[in-house]
């Protein structure tokens, strides 16, 4: 597991293109036959992916967590962005179709990922520290809470699908879901905002050969990142997080911090952006 430390807002403003990408992006997560994970100092969130092939893959026992096993003091949300697959939690078997989500609470010692019978399952996961146990719950895409937002005239007509949240799957602090766009819409989270009480992580997927220009940084000192398919942007509490693509795409969003109120945000009006 790789440790990931973050610069301050002042330091971030001095970084060149490659340094900015190294500090705020995660690439190469989805490696066949491997579990890849990054431990960040943003609310101690762990970001990773598991791509099982012929053999099952287990959550790693990493010294970075300081515990006997991965979920001893943690919870985890898993989104399958590939073909159908299976996640086993102890003796329980959970079949995840494309865009299904599984939450696993703290204390589960054995968690393994398996590929399905057709195609390649690709499991993306976010883990946050937890202080109490909540039950393991699977939610299919059809069971997600859906909210339609945006306007076609502003190219931001989109659908927010929430899985782990106050009115859905219960957790200690993790909030997780994904957003998808209607044909012709490419803007996400505009006008932007910051979360002074939470970290947010974006994982862009289903871009194909397209790209996203992701806006980050303080509202009065914005920076940008060019993001490709299945790449991750780590967004500190002081940074905006918005983007525009050259075509349709989806992104998985996940948050951890002081609360689970989805709309707890500090607006950054468009006319104040620099």
| Regions of the chain short of the pLDDT cut 50 | none
**Secondary structure of residue 23 in the 3-state scheme:** helix
One-character DSSP codes across 93-160? EEEE-TT-EEEE-TT---EEEEE-SSS---EEEEEEE-SS----EEE-GGGSEEEEE--GGGT--EEE
CATH number of the structural domain spanning residue 121: 2.60.120.10
pLDDT at 85: 98
Note the pTM of the prediction, 2 decimals. Answer: 0.95
Q: How far apart are CA 233 and CA 51, in angstroms?
A: 20
Show the domain range for 124.
Answer: 2-272
Please state, as a whole number, how many other Cβ atoms lie within 10 Å of the Cβ of residue 125. 26
Find residue 58's DSSP bridge partners.
112
Q: CA angle at residue 228 from 21 to 217, to 5 degrees?
A: 40
pLDDT at 265: 81
Tens of pLDDT, residue by residue over 201-243, are: 999 999 999 999 999 999 999 999 999 999 999 999 999 999 9
Q: Which two tokens stand for residue 270?
A: 């468009």
pLDDT at 163: 98
Domain count, the chain: 1
Taking a C-beta distance cutoff of 8 angstroms, is the pair 46, 231 a contact?
no
């Amino acid at each position: 597991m790789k440790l990931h430390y973050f610069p301050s807002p002042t330091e971030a403003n001095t970084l060149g293109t490659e340094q900015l990408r190294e500090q705020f992006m995660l690439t190469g997560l989805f490696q066949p036959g491997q579990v890849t994970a990054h431990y960040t100092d943003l609310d101690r969130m762990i970001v990773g992916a598991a791509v099982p092939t012929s053999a099952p893959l287990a959550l790693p026992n990493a010294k970075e967590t300081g515990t006997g096993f991965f979920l001893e003091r943690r919870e985890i949300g898993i989104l399958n962005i590939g073909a159908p697959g299976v996640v086993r939690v102890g003796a329980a078997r959970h079949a995840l179709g494309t865009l299904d989500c599984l939450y696993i609470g703290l204390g589960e010692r054995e968690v393994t990922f398996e590929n399905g019978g057709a195609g390649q399952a690709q499991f993306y996961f976010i883990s946050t520290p937890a202080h109490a146990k909540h039950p393991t719950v699977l939610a299919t895409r059809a069971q997600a809470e859906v909210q339609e937002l945006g306007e076609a005239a502003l190219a931001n007509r989109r659908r927010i699908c929430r899985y782990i949240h106050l009115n859905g799957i219960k957790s200690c602090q993790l909030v997780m879901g994904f957003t998808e766009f209607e044909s012709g819409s490419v803007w996400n989270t505009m006008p932007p905002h910051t979360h002074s009480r939470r970290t947010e992580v974006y994982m862009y997927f289903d871009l194909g050969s397209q790209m996203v220009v992701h806006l980050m940084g303080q509202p009065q000192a914005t920076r940008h990142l060019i993001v490709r398919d299945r790449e991750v942007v780590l967004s500190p509490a002081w940074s905006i997080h918005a983007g525009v693509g050259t075509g349709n795409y989806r992104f998985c969003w996940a948050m951890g911090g002081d609360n689970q109120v989805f709309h707890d945000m500090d607006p950054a009006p468009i006319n104040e952006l620099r």
